[in-house]
Amino acid sequence: MNLSLSIPALLFPAISLTMLAYNARYLAIAGLIRSLHASYQETHSEGVGLQVKKLRKRLTIIKNMQAVAIVSFLLAVITMFLIYIEEAFYAKIVFGISLFALMLSLILSLIEVQLSTKALSIQLRDME
């Protein structure tokens, strides 16, 4: 396979959009944690405390999703540099690692979405 500059460049918009989505999830959870914290300060409810623990786990996953996506982005840039200096062998290896990092980020995203869905279903059950 010939690896041209345009192939790793195709990852730029995908990774950028992924990072925007991850950042939106982070901001939403951060806002929820702040509101739950205020609620916990007033009520000292065990349920709120448990929700905060679950949100901490989701926040850690999102942090890791973001970190791995950034590594993928950085490796795509390194790939382009290696292609530029005509180091095709190393460029292919780095690009493969970049793709793997992007896949890992997406898998973490799937796990976080599953946790989010479980948390919502628990809240819905409490309301019924």
Place of tokens 């190393």: 90
Q: What angle do CA 30, 32, 33 make, to 5 degrees?
A: 65
> Domain coordinates of the chain in residue numbers?
6-127
Q: What is the pTM of this model?
A: 0.80
DSSP 5: T
Across residues 111-119, what is the average pLDDT?
A: 85
Place of tokens 């991850």: 22
pLDDT digits (tens, 9 = 90+) for 48-87: 777 777 888 889 999 999 999 999 999 999 999 999 999 9
CA distance 90 to 85: 11
Place of tokens 């850690």: 60
